[in-house]
Structure 1
Amino acid sequence: MPVTENIGRRQSIPILYTRGTHYEVGFDVGRTFGALIQSFIKSCETLNQEYLPAYETQEGRQAYEDTLNNLKTNFPQYIKELEGIADGSKIPFHKLLLLHIDDVILAAVKKEGIKQPTGCTSIAVNMKNGAILGHTEDALRDTLNHFYFVSAHIVSDKPQGRWNVKEEKFTSLCYAGHLPGYTMNYNHHGLVFSINTISAKNLKPGKTPRHFLTRAMLGAENFLQVQQILRDSGVGAADGCSVNMTFLKQEGDRLFHNVEVGPGVNSNESQLSALTISPGEDFIHTNEYQRLKLEQGNEMMLVSSKERYKTLKNYIPPSTKEDVITMLGDTSHPEQKVFRTQQNDYVQTIAVGIFDCNEKTWSLYADNPTSNEPLVVMPLVLQNTKSN
């Protein structure tokens, strides 16, 4: 029985400040949050009922090994980071990597994953009086109360991975046992971003899981680097997602961007579609491709995405932080709510984040933001800037 059924929705989000190598940072995360990670691994239905049985098959193990070999070649530092989490939390490494490979391992055994309306909602508002990126973090209910902040400063003695990164400094909301980068995040270069999961129909084992691409984004300094990371030339993404972002330190007018990422099924690079949200514009993304013409799986996710999108489009276009908070807290739809807390729902909104790009703050809510104060309002501390 999942622990979350017994303790309810906790008003608690722990944070770890850590500095070191990739392995050292991972180990500190695992050691600090070991109880949360162990609890999540024990209660995670998709891992225990879907991914681990697939891993025990010949086809699944081959997909796992092909993916791991690719990652050791291109992102060895993040494999070391995940090894650190595994060692620190005393969880077998393969269980943590399977969480990142996700439904791709099921594609190898020709099996579909649990079909539930998972996914998140992101809203970007690019106005002079309100430059906001808001995001609901929606996940399977096993994830409720199983997340934390990691604020890390990673310094390596030599360039790491295919993008030759020596230093990373970021803060990320992380699911228990997962690498940073796949939820809400910012780095000291001023990159702020959120992720929407998209369920592409055709997944490609052996390529780069989306979670590793978004982990690599935490080292990006500009939009060109982000596109390079997501395109992943030479390999390509194994699955799909949508990235919503802005750069706080960019010169000239503020721009937001949305990049839809599709798996590199018949190519050695990801499929990408980038959209720029200019001053005076707003943008909404849920969990479906709006521009890439790809076949999508998980019909329940698509239905939920379309209904949430329709609900939000019924509002007057947002122009302020308050508008975004109201929209992300919407519970008007009888089934496909934007903020999801129905007791028996397989999917829950576990947190809501509001990045205020003018004030340079990140507000994090553990409950509906329309009726609760944020648990924390953190300053976005950037390179060469001083925090109070």
Structure 2
Amino acid sequence: MPNTPIPIIEARGTHREVGRQIGEQCRERIQSMFASLRHELPPGVTWEAMLNQSRVYLAYSRAVYPQYIEELEGIAEGAQVSFDEVFLTMCEELWESFAWHGCTDMAARGKATADGTTLIAHTNDLLPKTEALLVLLKVQAENEPEFLGVSVGGIAISAGYNAAKISLTGNQLDSSDVRPGVPRLLVVRAILGSKTLSEAMSHCLLPTRASSYNNVIADGSGEVYSMEGSATDMEAIYIKDDVMAHANHYVAPSMRRFERDRSVIANSIIRHNRAEYLLRQHYGKLTPELFRSLLADHAGYPTSICKHGTETQTVFSIIIQVETLKAWIGRGHPCETEYTEYQLEPY
């Protein structure tokens, strides 16, 4: 399967129309995913209890992002499933830490890259069975910039970029202050609808967020930030010496107090430092082609940047050249995949 491109789902129109088109085209995947999720609940919790908790998150979300709730309602209609269940899949906070996974990000710009462009590279580590559910969403919703995002099943988006030259990748964090609020996956969707980096950053800083990823955001002028957040605090880490790396633990001194369990972050520390080392080793020579080999790095195998673990493994990787609106996306392990090139037209 690694050499088979991830299928593209295209949708245009109002937010509800976009959602309905996604739901219709992803119906089989979504229904399969829901059947599986019912058997993967956190210990001691019922499906009904999860649905009840998610309704609190829904109230916060309708108040801030009614357009994206309409999109999810459209997905439910198109997939012929319950909206409540669609929204529950967006509430990743309710599944923690039962559903905790990982990923690695690298960014380079200016003097660090061979041609001075901004390159963002990301691996995504999930359960192996997730690979079969992957789709690429190419979406034009109302007056928002068109975006291309990698999605599990067509509902939640993990990484992508838009026609306004805003890119989003990032890393899951395990914070100690998770609370009812707007799910971080809904914030991801809002970031991909942004027209400017300032707008994208404002979504990261949403006061009523339930939690936060480390959102790596960049724009076409070469600005790159690692928005390392929790539910109640955030550190905007600016790219330094034209390179940046991040994995799945807090690195900003002001944020380390939110690490829920420091005993489980050894692998993240190793991947983070390895990514920084690779960026320094290839400083000034970094290209999309070279990043393909960096994402395939096996130092620390099997829990390397290119992860071959038995519980979780790298199910996709993406390299984004922000200024040119190009991306290269590969399914499965980076060491085995054949990347496919994608192009968006300027907004």
Same fold (TM over 0.5): yes
- 2:178 is equivalent to residue 203 of structure 1: yes
In structure 2, the CA distance between the partners of 1:261 and 1:133, relative to structure 1 (3 Å rule), is same
SS at match of 2:54: helix
- 2:217 is equivalent to residue 242 of structure 1: no
Q: What residue is the counterpart of 2:110 in the other structure?
A: 127
In structure 2, the CA distance between the partners of 1:357 and 1:223, relative to structure 1 (3 Å rule), is closer
Provide Cα deviations, 1:331-358, integer angstroms capped at 9, x if missing partner: 231442111234xx11121111111235
Deviation at 1:246, TM superposition (A): 1.6
Provide Cα deviations, 1:287-342, integer angstroms capped at 9, x if missing partner: 11111233323667622211212333443613312443222111231442111234
- Unaligned ranges ≥5, structure 1: 1-7, 107-111, 156-165, 265-270, 384-388
Q: What residue is the counterpart of 1:255 in the other structure?
A: 223
Match of 1:114 among 93, 98, 103: 98
SS at match of 1:50: coil
Distance (Å, rounded) in 2 between the aligned partners of 1:79 and 1:172: 18
Matched to 1:285, the amino acid is H
Matches for 1:290-301 after TM superposition, within 5 Å: 290-291=251-252, 292-297=255-260
In structure 2, the CA distance between the partners of 1:30 and 1:301, relative to structure 1 (3 Å rule), is farther
Q: What residue is the counterpart of 2:238 in the other structure?
A: 276
Distance (Å, rounded) in 2 between the aligned partners of 1:204 and 1:297: 13
Q: Is the 8 A contact 2:160 2:169 kept in 1?
A: yes
Matches for 1:314-329 after TM superposition, within 5 Å: 314-315=277-278, 317=280, 318-319=282-283, 320-321=286-287, 322-329=289-296
Q: What residue is the counterpart of 1:174 in the other structure?
A: 151
Count of aligned pairs: 337
Q: Is the 8 A contact 1:188 1:382 kept in 2?
A: yes
Matches for 1:74-89 after TM superposition, within 5 Å: 74-89=64-79
SS at match of 1:97: helix
In structure 2, the CA distance between the partners of 1:93 and 1:303, relative to structure 1 (3 Å rule), is farther
Q: Is the 8 A contact 2:217 2:225 kept in 1?
A: yes
Q: Is the 8 A contact 1:115 1:301 kept in 2?
A: no
Q: Which runs of 4+ in 1 moved over 4 A?
A: 298-301
Matched to 2:94, the amino acid is I
Q: What residue is the counterpart of 1:53 in the other structure?
A: 45
Deviation at 1:137, TM superposition (A): 1.6
Q: Is the 8 A contact 1:141 1:346 kept in 2?
A: yes
Matches for 1:135-150 after TM superposition, within 5 Å: 135-150=122-137
Provide Cα deviations, 1:7-53, integer angstroms capped at 9, x if missing partner: x65723111221111111111111111112222222347x7422993
SS at match of 2:146: strand
Matched to 2:184, the amino acid is R
SS at match of 2:215: strand
Distance (Å, rounded) in 2 between the aligned partners of 1:115 and 1:298: 15
Q: Is the 8 A contact 1:200 1:296 kept in 2?
A: yes
RMSD between aligned alpha carbons? 2.5
- 2:168 is equivalent to residue 193 of structure 1: yes
- 2:187 is equivalent to residue 213 of structure 1: yes
Deviation at 1:368, TM superposition (A): 3.7
- 2:332 is equivalent to residue 348 of structure 1: no
Distance (Å, rounded) in 2 between the aligned partners of 1:14 and 1:210: 25
Matches for 1:60-71 after TM superposition, within 5 Å: 60=50, 62-71=52-61
In structure 2, the CA distance between the partners of 1:11 and 1:52, relative to structure 1 (3 Å rule), is farther
Q: Is the 8 A contact 2:2 2:338 kept in 1?
A: no
Provide Cα deviations, 1:155-196, integer angstroms capped at 9, x if missing partner: 1xxxxxxxxxx43421111111424xx422111211012121
- Unaligned ranges ≥5, structure 2: none
Matched to 1:219, the amino acid is G
The structure with higher relative contact order (CA 8 Å, sep 6+) is: 2
Matched to 1:178, the amino acid is I
